[in-house]
Amino acid sequence: MAEYSLLSLLRNAMSGNADWKPAWRKPEPKPEYDVVIVGGGGHGLSTAYYLAKEHGVTNVAVLERGWLGQGNIGRNTTMIRSNYLLPQNQHFYEHSMKMWEDLAHELNYNVMFSQRGCLNLANSPSQLDDFARRGNAMRHVGIDAELMTREQVKAFIPALDIDFGGRFPVYGGMIQRRAGTARHDAVAWGYARAADRRGVDLIENCEVTGFHRDGDRITGVSTSRGDIRAKKVAVVVAGNTGAVMKLAGIDRLPIESHVLQAFVSEGIKPFMDTVVTFGAGHLYVTQSDKGGMVFGGDIDGYNTYAQRGNLPIVEDVMSELCAMFPGLARVRLLRSWGGVMDMSMDGSPIIAAGPLPGMYLNCGWCYGGFKATPASGLCFAHTIARDAPHPLTAHFTLDRFNRGYVIDEKGQGSTPRLH
pLDDT tens, residue by residue, 236-279: 999 999 999 999 999 989 999 999 999 999 999 999 999 999 99
**Considering only CA atoms, which of 179, 14, 27 is closest in space to residue 96?**
179
The mean pLDDT of 384-396, rounded to a whole number, is 97
The structural domains of the chain, ordered by start, are 31-78+184-254+346-418 (3.50.50.60)
Average pLDDT (280-306) is: 92
Instruction: Give the 3-state secondary structure of 238-272.
Output: HHHHHHHHHCCCCCCCCEEEEEEEEEEECCCCCCC
Give the pLDDT of residue 368: 86
- Please check whether residue 120 is in contact with residue 131, taking contact to mean a CB–CB distance below 8 angstroms: yes
Least confident of 120-124, 159-163, 166-170, 313-317: 166-170
How many percent of the chain have pLDDT more than 70? Answer: 100
Q: How far apart are CA 84 and CA 352, in angstroms?
A: 21
Task: Give residue 164's pLDDT.
Answer: 82
Question: Three-class SS of residue 105?
Answer: helix
Mean pLDDT of 385-393: 97
**262 in Cβ contact with 77 (< 8 Å):** yes
Q: Are 259 and 367 in contact (CB under 8 A)?
A: no
For the cut 60, the answer to whether the pLDDT of residue 307 exceeds it is: yes
Tell me: the pLDDT tens digits for 138-190?
999 999 999 999 999 999 999 999 998 778 899 999 999 999 999 999 999 99
* pLDDT value for 2: 61
pLDDT on residue 1: 57
Average pLDDT (217-228) is 98
Residue 80 has a pLDDT of: 97
State the Cα–Cα distance between residues 307 and 304, nearest whole angstrom: 8
Structure confidence by residue, pLDDT tens digits, 33-86: 999 999 999 999 999 999 999 999 999 999 999 999 888 998 889 999 999 999
Please report, for residues 40, 203, 277, 313, the alpha-carbon distance to residue 301 in angstroms, rounded to integers and kept in the order given.
Answer: 27, 34, 20, 9
Our CA angle for 299, 394, 257, nearest 5°, is 20
For the question of whether the overall pTM of this predicted structure is more than 0.85, the answer is: yes
